Amino acid sequence: MTGGTPLRSLDEDELLGRILPGFPASKDLVVAPGDDAAVLHTSGRVIATTDTVVLGRDWLDAWSSGADIGHKVVAQNLADVAAMGGHPTGVLVTLVADPELSLEWVLDHVRGLAEACLAAGVAVLGGDLSSAPAGVVMVSVTALGRLDGEPVLRSGARAGDVLAVRGSLGLADAGLRLLQADTVDLLPVAVERQRRPEPPLAAGPEAAAAGATAMLDLSDGLLRDGGRIARASRVVIDLVPQALAPDVAALSGALGAEAALDCVLAGGEEHSLLATFPTGSLPEGWRAIGSVRDPAGGEAPGIVVAGRAVAHTGWDHFRDA
């Protein structure tokens, strides 16, 4: 990401002149980037969320291009909007970088951001540029969205509901393991998913309309994120291992059975949607993988696999850094 033209060789207006024309606008954008702030038409409720990626923590240049990181940081933010039952409408993007960072990396990154926004029908509303100490590159995105009905929270799961997933399980973590082992040819689709998650954005509002009682996107793994729904809703979620067998089988050839199960149960960065629905109201494309019940006497809310409680696992930013 260094080499080529360093950012410090351009002034801020020149740099913005290279960046801004690549960004999509939208019919709802009343004031586009360039003034003090953007102005966006919206309905009565606006959704807002933010997520940041840091070089060396969230990505390595050996494994991901600038465009990959652009796709990924947009996808993980828009997934949070979808997981509330909303339609993403716009993003703000902040780049904080070592002035030695190459302009070529930045323009590739901007291309990835713009492609991901265009694909989702989302406008780039604005952003900020700032310099950072040597070696630091950080991209922070805030996503806004429109909510037509009621938000789908994590706390609404009720006894008798079905737990269901929309999208893949464990693929992104499998891709990370293949990159770490330098065996990417064993399952290229997993490596591609690690680089560019594909959250099923339209499925979020569809689930809300179908009566989903709780929903989130899988960023930290099925056990940890499922446990969040269980604890917020004060219920027990029984995962059905047989329902996960196809997901495990899809990864076993490349990783072996044990690692494949790990990926499916605890793999992060997948950004598929996990939700609970009243029995009989599962929309098309969702797969039932468990059920919701009230805790038995003395039992703690949480997630249970084949009758055994499991601890949530996953990444912790400051401890695991």
Residue 237 C-beta: closest distance to a second copy, Å: 17
**What token pair was written down for 294?**
């009230």
**What token pair was written down for 149?**
């009905």
38 binds a second copy (CB under 8 A): yes
Cα 79 to Cα 6: distance, rounded to the nearest angstrom: 33
The torsion region of residue 314 among left (phi > 0), alpha (psi -120 to 50) and beta comes to left
Choose, by CB under 8 A, the member of 62, 185, 307, 317 that binds a second copy. 317
- Phi, psi of 283, rounded to the nearest 5 degrees: -70, 165
94 binds a second copy (CB under 8 A): yes
Choose, by CB under 8 A, the member of 4, 17, 99, 246 that binds a second copy. 99
Number of residues counted as binding a second copy (CB under 8 A): 70
Cα 129 to Cα 94: distance, rounded to the nearest angstrom: 6
Point out which span in 79-87, 157-165, 236-244, 282-290 binds a second copy (CB under 8 A): 79-87
Point out which span in 107-115, 164-172, 188-196, 311-319 binds a second copy (CB under 8 A): 311-319
Choose between 90 and 221: whose C-beta lies nearer to a second copy.
Answer: 90
Question: Tokens 């027990």 map to which residue?
Answer: 236
Instruction: Give the other-Cβ count within 10 Å of 43's Cβ.
Output: 10
- Phi, psi of 143, rounded to the nearest 5 degrees: -110, 140
Residue 203 C-beta: closest distance to a second copy, Å: 14
**Inter-residue contact 167 to 273 (CB < 8 Å):** yes
Choose between 99 and 253: whose C-beta lies nearer to a second copy.
Answer: 99
Point out which span in 86-94, 109-117, 163-171, 279-287 binds a second copy (CB under 8 A): 86-94
50 is in an annotated binding site: yes
Choose, by CB under 8 A, the member of 7, 120, 163, 208 that binds a second copy. 7
Cα 190 to Cα 150: distance, rounded to the nearest angstrom: 34
Choose between 102 and 252: whose C-beta lies nearer to a second copy.
Answer: 102
202 binds a second copy (CB under 8 A): no
276 binds a second copy (CB under 8 A): no
Cα 164 to Cα 160: distance, rounded to the nearest angstrom: 13
197 binds a second copy (CB under 8 A): no
Q: Which helix (H) or strand (E) holds 293?
A: strand 287-293
50 binds a second copy (CB under 8 A): yes
130 is in an annotated binding site: no
Residue 62 C-beta: closest distance to a second copy, Å: 17
Burial class (CB in 10 A: 0-12, 13-18, 19+), 18: middle
User: In Å, what is the CA distance from 26 to each residue of 23, 124, 143, 205?
Assistant: 10, 9, 14, 20
Residues that bind a second copy (CB under 8 A): 7-8, 10-12, 15, 30-31, 35-54, 56-58, 80-81, 83-84, 86, 90, 92, 94, 96, 99, 125-133, 135-136, 138, 140, 142-145, 147, 151, 153-154, 215-217, 316-319, 321
Annotated binding site for ATP: 127-128, 154, 219
